[in-house]
A and B are shown apart, each in its own frame.
Chain A
Amino acid sequence: MQLAFFYFFSGLSILSALFVIFFRNTLSAAIALVVTLFGVACLFGLLEAHFLAAMQVLVYAGAVMVLFLFVIMLMNLGREELLKIKLAFLGIIGVITGVCLAILLVTRFMGLSAPLLSLDLGVEYGTVKSVGKLLFGEYLIPFELTSILLLVAIIGAITLARKPQS
């Protein structure tokens, strides 16, 4: 049963991820991205990581996507400015490489994930408490580094977007 759900949700996210790339309309692409992120959230749920699943929906499918939609709205793209897909020579090479890579990964990883699924997870696994403990214990330094990274990114974005001083 769990396996069926896994294939359903992973198929859903891969399919909608492809739609993100191939939709010409940026708005449709953004909506397809919501579906992808939702699919990933469901995968987290299947892995017993309920807190992460909820955060994935709240932060990515919710907040980040709303920002994306706002940006698309503000840019007010006309028909002629939309990306035209041209499957040029390099594009074909890219597709072939991608397909080869996918086949390779699928065939090579078939047997690998089995032991990970049967791990005995404690009662606390995936709860807010255990995630918080990890985040503020073992992973404290990456957590702090992320805050500096975001601060720097915000200030950088402001620097780039600001009108030149005369």
Chain B
Amino acid sequence: MKQDLIYFLPELIVSITVLFLFLLDCFIGKRSRRIFPVIAFIGIAAMMLANKSSSPLPSARFFSDMMVFDHVSVLFKYIFGLAGLIAIVIANGSHELEKVDKANYFTLLTALVLGMMLLANAHHFLMIYLSLEMVSLLSYILTGSLQGSRRSSEASLKYVIYGGVASGIMAYGISILYGLTGSMTLTGVAEFLRMNAVSKTALYTSVLMIMAGFGFKVASVPFHMWCPDVYEGAPTPFTAFLSVGPKAAGFAVLLRFFFGALSQTTTSGIEPIKIIGLPALLGGLSIATMTLGNLAALQQKSMKRLLAYSSIAHAGYMLLALVALNAEAVTGVIFYLSVYLLMNLGAFLVLIIVGDQLGSEDISVFQGLSKRGPFAALLSIVMTVFMFSLTGIPPMAGFIGKFYLFGSVIKSGHYTLAVIGMLNSVVSLYYYIRVVKIMYFDEPVDGRNLTTPMVSHASTVFALALLTIYLGLFWNGLANIVGQAKLF
């Protein structure tokens, strides 16, 4: 039990932070609300330190096989922690969240990080279900946190209804899988499937149904419908977090499900369970997801909706790597998620800085941004970096991310899929570059200049841009760390 708690230390720290913040809310007055983001920040930073000290431990399963500890879980905890820290910095001082109760917002955000950590390390279907529900519930609440805003409430309600249906279907799928294999743990399912023959149709049905829950979290077709409306209605600082955090958690659990329950590791590598056409299913899903995301993004007028469809497209790219189902795919997905975290949060932060001052979230607000004073000129360069990186143009980090993703697909021999993925990147070039174009070649609609925002916002956005370029030039360090990560 003591050993179990050592593995659980990062989660424990975040849980204590959350409970402490809840209690603090009861005792502290309205004046000193500023302390909440500080404590949440310290809690998550402490989690990352504990995570660092636990990284040399060997892989293990703990709490009677409920959870798993391995290097992939360590990496995902870093990703969630970083996303949480940046989300706190972004939310602190945003104009949009001025009227929101800060105490609750930051506490629930920290709880969301906890839910994502549990989801990424779950080894038992009960844990997967519970932590998925925790992530979803908190996402609904934070989406609707703009009180009195019709859009925000509507987005939250849509999210709840979609989420309820998706998790219901997933729970049914899990029950079928349990009925088939008699096991609730991921590796237990794999063990049973290796030894025994089961009804192919029933297994296929259950996997499809479970995919409903996971697909909903990563916003893949056909469970993407909530994404644009929720992204648009939610307060932008939370949208930024929603587009990277819960999505990364969704991919973590997808990796565990496909590599843990539906494949087996042999001496020659990882092999998917033969009886179901997993590559065909995932390949179809991923092509549909990226194509729909990219085509729909072409005609968006709102920047938030554009980034929503772009996040659907990026989910499609990452699903592509899952088709490959090899060790490179794990590396590819985790590397891409870390890069995507930097560039997408960066793009959202630029939108928040510009939107807060000019009072709109349409793409037209970027018209002639480079001519709105010295800070705006600098911000335009930063935005260009993020847009190029999201497209996947060298020397930005997005290019290296796509390189690893498509590399794993090519290595597994699915050349057609890789070509479709690259063609999709070309399509995405149009709408990303259009933002850059209107920033530099259009004239501003009015004479307002951008003033320098808060130091924390400005420094974060520049740091994210620098990291995006840095990882595009010197990716070896990160790639080595990610490449050594082993699942289970």
Residues 144-166 of A contacting B (Cβ, < 8 Å): 145-146, 148-149, 151-153, 155-157, 159-160, 162-165
**CB-defined contacts of B108 to chain A, threshold 8 Å:** 152, 155-156, 159
Q: Is the Cβ of A112 less than 8 Å from the Cβ of B179?
A: yes
A141 in contact with B137 given A159-B104, A165-B101 (CB within 8 Å): no
Q: Is the Cβ of B145 less than 8 Å from the Cβ of A159?
A: yes
Name the CB-closest residue of B to A166. B99
Measured CA separation A146–B134 after assembly (Å):
9
CB distance from B91 to the nearest CB of A (A): 15
Q: Is the Cβ of B99 less than 8 Å from the Cβ of A164?
A: yes
**CB-defined contacts of A101 to chain B, threshold 8 Å:** 205
Q: Is the Cβ of B130 less than 8 Å from the Cβ of A109?
A: no
CB distance from A22 to the nearest CB of B (A): 18
Measured CA separation A162–B199 after assembly (Å):
51
Q: Is the Cβ of B126 less than 8 Å from the Cβ of A142?
A: yes
Q: Which of A104, A112, A145 contacts B205 (CB 8 A)?
A: A104
**CB-defined contacts of A109 to chain B, threshold 8 Å:** 179, 199, 202
Interface core residue of B124, B130, B133 (most chain A CB under 10 Å): B130
A137 on interface, CB distance cutoff 8 Å: yes
A138 on interface, CB distance cutoff 8 Å: yes
A64 on interface, CB distance cutoff 8 Å: no
Measured CA separation A156–B133 after assembly (Å):
13
Q: Is the Cβ of A152 less than 8 Å from the Cβ of B138?
A: yes
**CB-defined contacts of B138 to chain A, threshold 8 Å:** 152, 156
**CB-defined contacts of B205 to chain A, threshold 8 Å:** 101, 104-105, 108
Q: Is the Cβ of B199 less than 8 Å from the Cβ of A155?
A: no
Q: Is the Cβ of A108 less than 8 Å from the Cβ of B101?
A: no
**CB-defined contacts of B140 to chain A, threshold 8 Å:** 156
Name the CB-closest residue of A to B145. A159
Q: Is the Cβ of B127 less than 8 Å from the Cβ of A142?
A: yes
B64 on interface, CB distance cutoff 8 Å: yes
**CB-defined contacts of B107 to chain A, threshold 8 Å:** 155
Name the CB-closest residue of A to B176. A105
Residues 355-393 of B contacting A (Cβ, < 8 Å): none
Q: Is the Cβ of B179 less than 8 Å from the Cβ of A152?
A: no
Measured CA separation A113–B202 after assembly (Å):
13
B37 on interface, CB distance cutoff 8 Å: no
CB distance from A112 to the nearest CB of B (A): 6
Q: Is the Cβ of B148 less than 8 Å from the Cβ of A155?
A: no
Q: Is the Cβ of A112 less than 8 Å from the Cβ of B199?
A: yes
SS of B interface (majority)? helix
CB distance from A134 to the nearest CB of B (A): 10
B180 on interface, CB distance cutoff 8 Å: yes
Chain B residues touching A, range: 35 or more
Chain A residues touching B, range: 20 to 34
A128 on interface, CB distance cutoff 8 Å: no
Q: Which of B131, B145, B202 contacts A145 (CB 8 A)?
A: B131
Q: Is the Cβ of A149 less than 8 Å from the Cβ of B134?
A: yes
A73 on interface, CB distance cutoff 8 Å: no
Measured CA separation A104–B204 after assembly (Å):
11
B452 on interface, CB distance cutoff 8 Å: no
Measured CA separation A61–B117 after assembly (Å):
34
SS of A interface (majority)? helix
Q: Is the Cβ of B199 less than 8 Å from the Cβ of A108?
A: yes
Measured CA separation A89–B156 after assembly (Å):
26
Name the CB-closest residue of A to B147. A164
Measured CA separation A38–B419 after assembly (Å):
55
Q: Is the Cβ of B134 less than 8 Å from the Cβ of A142?
A: no
Interface core residue of A105, A113, A159 (most chain B CB under 10 Å): A159
A18 on interface, CB distance cutoff 8 Å: no
Q: Is the Cβ of B130 less than 8 Å from the Cβ of A142?
A: yes
Measured CA separation A162–B180 after assembly (Å):
46
B141 on interface, CB distance cutoff 8 Å: yes
**CB-defined contacts of A137 to chain B, threshold 8 Å:** 64
Residues 306-327 of B contacting A (Cβ, < 8 Å): none
A155 in contact with B15 given A145-B130, A149-B133 (CB within 8 Å): no
Measured CA separation A108–B137 after assembly (Å):
34
Q: Is the Cβ of B137 less than 8 Å from the Cβ of A152?
A: yes
Measured CA separation A139–B129 after assembly (Å):
14
Q: Is the Cβ of B141 less than 8 Å from the Cβ of A165?
A: no
Measured CA separation A97–B29 after assembly (Å):
55
Measured CA separation A101–B22 after assembly (Å):
44
B18 on interface, CB distance cutoff 8 Å: yes
A140 on interface, CB distance cutoff 8 Å: yes
**CB-defined contacts of A105 to chain B, threshold 8 Å:** 176, 202, 205
Residues 176-204 of B contacting A (Cβ, < 8 Å): 176, 179-180, 182, 199, 201-202
**A: which residues have CB within 8 A of B?**
101, 104-105, 108-109, 112-113, 116, 137-142, 145-146, 148-149, 151-153, 155-157, 159-160, 162-165
**B: which residues have CB within 8 A of A?**
15, 18, 22, 63-64, 66-67, 99, 101, 104, 107-108, 111, 114, 118, 124, 126-127, 130-131, 133-134, 137-138, 140-141, 144-145, 147-148, 156, 176, 179-180, 182, 199, 201-202, 205
State the 10 A-B residue pairs at the shortest beta-carbon distance, nearest first.
A156-B141, A164-B147, A108-B202, A141-B63, A138-B64, A164-B148, A141-B66, A159-B104, A142-B126, A108-B199
- 5 A-B residue pairs with Cβ-Cβ distance under 8 Å, sorted by A, are A105-B202, A108-B201, A113-B179, A148-B18, A157-B141
- Given A164-B99, A164-B147, list of 13 further CB < 8 A pairs? A108-B201, A109-B179, A112-B179, A141-B67, A141-B127, A145-B131, A152-B108, A156-B108, A156-B138, A159-B104, A159-B145, A160-B156, A165-B101
